[in-house]
Amino acid sequence: MAAEPQNDAEIGPGTLLIASTALTGPTFARTVIYLIEHDHNGTLGVVLNRMSEAAVFNVLPQWAELAASPRAVFIGGPVQTESAVCLGVTRSGIDPQTQPQLRPVLGPVVMVDLDADPEELAPVLTGVRIFAGYAGWDAGQLDDEIAEDSWLVAPGLPTDLLAPADVDIWDTVLRRQPWPLPLLATYPVDPLTN
């Protein structure tokens, strides 16, 4: 059951890429990617649902208190896995443009400078998520993958970014899409065992 891919005009910061059931490789199978940048140079995002076994406290202890539960480092993607990307959600009424340590992505979602003082940002942010590495595409590459039905495109919510461990983001995001996409949420992990 292939869904119609959405056009490039609807892709931008804050967009979600939902792995289609045809995408079965271990890196991206059943992933949801939150896009941070998308322009003529390419696309950058982070995988929201690949938690590592590393605790934030063990890697960046100063950020452990502000990290959303589960307080683990997430695997943002296969590119530059030794570097960290931090995304956060600002509190209601906060203008991210007034905070030099934050770079707006979309609405209350911001990139957070990990060199900043977390105690200074605590009154500004509801929480952060730290990712090791990111997912990236060269110019036109993502468009080709969407045309091949590898990815479904949907608007993201700030709650997707800070979802608790017991939430299956792939399932949750699919179930809130227009019909018939919610049916994909029932697709078995291994169709041969169905």
pLDDT tens digits for 4-58? 434 344 899 999 999 998 888 889 999 999 999 999 999 999 999 999 999 999 9
Tens digit of each residue's pLDDT (9 = 90 or more) over 46-91: 999 999 999 999 999 999 999 999 999 999 999 999 999 999 999 9
Which two structure tokens, joined as six digits, stand for 73?
């480092």
- Total number of domains in the chain: 1
Residue 109 CB neighbours (<10 A):
23
pLDDT at res. 22: 86
User: In this structure, what CATH number is given to the domain that contains residue 155?
Assistant: 3.40.1740.10
Q: Are 47 and 75 in contact (CB under 8 A)?
A: yes
**Residue 1 falls inside a structural domain:** no
User: Do residues 139 and 41 lie in contact, with contact meaning Cβ atoms separated by under 8 Å?
Assistant: yes
Q: Are 76 and 48 in contact (CB under 8 A)?
A: no
Let me know if residue 2 belongs to a domain.
no
**Residues 35/17, Cβ–Cβ less than 8 Å:** yes
Per the domain annotation, does 103 fall within a domain? yes
> What is the rounded average pLDDT for all residues in the chain?
90
Identify whether 90 is part of a domain. Answer: yes
Q: Residue 186: inside a domain, yes or no?
A: yes
For residues 64 and 55, give the distance between their C-alpha atoms in angstroms, rounded to a whole number.
8
Question: What does each C-alpha distance from 33 to 59, 71, 80, 157, 191 come to in angstroms?
Answer: 23, 19, 16, 12, 23
For residue 6, the model assigns a pLDDT of 42
Q: Is residue 146 part of a domain?
A: yes
Q: Answer yes or no: is 3 within a domain.
A: no
In a domain, 106, yes or no: yes
More confident residue, 100 or 193: 100
Q: What residue numbers bound the domain in which 132 lies?
A: 8-193
CA distance 142 to 31: 15
- What span, in angstroms and rounded, lies between the C-alpha atoms of 162 and 69? 8
- For residue 194, what pLDDT band results from cuts at 50, 70 and 90? low
